[in-house]
Amino acid sequence: MAKIVTITGIRPDFIRMSKVFEKLDENFEHIMIHTGQHYDDELSRIFFKELKIRKPDFTLQTGKNSRNHYEQLSYLSKEVIYLLKRKKIEPDWVVFLGDSNSALVSAPLFKEGYKIAHIEGGMRSYDRRMPEEVNRVICDYVSDMVFVYTPLYKERLIKENKNPSQIHVVGNTIVEVVKDYLPAGPRERNFIVADIHRNENLSSPAQYNHILQYLDTLGKKLGMEVRLVKFNRALKLIRKYKLLNDKKYIKLVGPYGFLDYLRLQYNAYGVVSDSGTSQEECPLLGVPVAVPRNFTERPESIDNGNSILVGETRPIARMVKDTVKFFDNYSISKDKIKWLGNGKTSDKIIRIIKRNTK
């Protein structure tokens, strides 16, 4: 039986990989390594429990032993390889998902001769301010097998001189997960959800305050509370510079597990998020998304009318006007979410791994 090692470490990894983990266990000798990049209950354990993910075979201590990105990479580069050699694990494939620092350990593994597979390949925002952009480019480059969500991502990789035979269009792993836990019933639709955590919006107090002012003005314009999800880095800025003292429409909430956050988005009038995941989850929930970024690695979400880019530093009045117009006129249909795939991604991935494993 072929031996597959998966290496994952952050909240979106656990969610997106939950069905893939299940299918890998059924079809291969699957060894799950949790890097510990997100290690507290809100960002790790609760997602394993809610999504019925089994206990990892090995859990590292990345988040506890590393204070920044280069310490994380240094720690992981040693610990993952030491673990494989110490336990005499000789995988046919080492599988990564996404663009976190956990995925960046694919580079030292590649140099050691391991065969790498990358799920969520080909995403590009072409914004090099994003650490995630660098991570995903490197992981794609060293991968022998790349699973991409859409034909567009395959085209991008081919332009980057990736061998087309190594690239497989499989659809988005998030679809089958959301479908299994899709909320139902009447919607409240009397509040806005805001999720702001990217580096470009938290790089300075002035920039973050600009986004918060936009959110507060949006709440006032719509007459709705803006429920801003807590993130540690953002909270530090809020407390240090008292950024919410003059913003009465914003309420801090969370953090949430996957199911509670899915329900929160489902009940919202609209979502304001710089998270790529929201641009995929919310169309499945029938909820509009305003993205306070200048670029996105998910242009299909924009092209299909699922979300809108409102920018990072544009005048607040313009950002609010565009958001209100989009939220008020939003509609969803099956055609608008075809780009996400048919919800059978994990099965496709398993078939392709089998086909490419001797």
Name the pTM for this structure: 0.94
Greatest Cα-to-Cα distance within the chain, rounded to the nearest angstrom: 63
- Residue 194 has phi, psi (to 5 degrees) of -125, 130
- pLDDT given at position 194: 98
Q: Is pLDDT above 60 for 18?
A: yes
Catalytic residue numbers, as ranges: 197
- pLDDT given at position 120: 97
Q: Is pLDDT above 70 for 39?
A: no
Integer Cα distance of 46 and 37 in angstroms: 15
**Cβ neighbours of residue 2 under 8 Å, at least 6 residues apart?**
28, 29, 92, 93, 353, 354, 357
| pLDDT tens, position by position, 125-147 | 999 888 889 999 999 999 999 99
Q: Is pLDDT above 80 for 190?
A: yes
First-residue to last-residue Cα distance in the chain: 10
Q: Is pLDDT above 80 for 15?
A: yes
Mean pLDDT of 282-296: 97
Q: Is pLDDT above 60 for 41?
A: no
Q: pLDDT exceeding 90 applies to what percent of the chain?
A: 85
Nearest C-alpha neighbor of 284 from the set 188, 190, 177, 124: 177
| Token representation of residue 22 | 């299940």
Q: Domains in the chain, ordered, with CATH?
A: 3-171+342-356 (3.40.50.2000), 181-340 (3.40.50.2000)
Mean pLDDT of 79-108: 95
- pLDDT given at position 40: 65
3-class secondary structure, 129: coil
| pLDDT tens, position by position, 330-348 | 999 999 999 999 999 999 9
- pLDDT given at position 42: 58
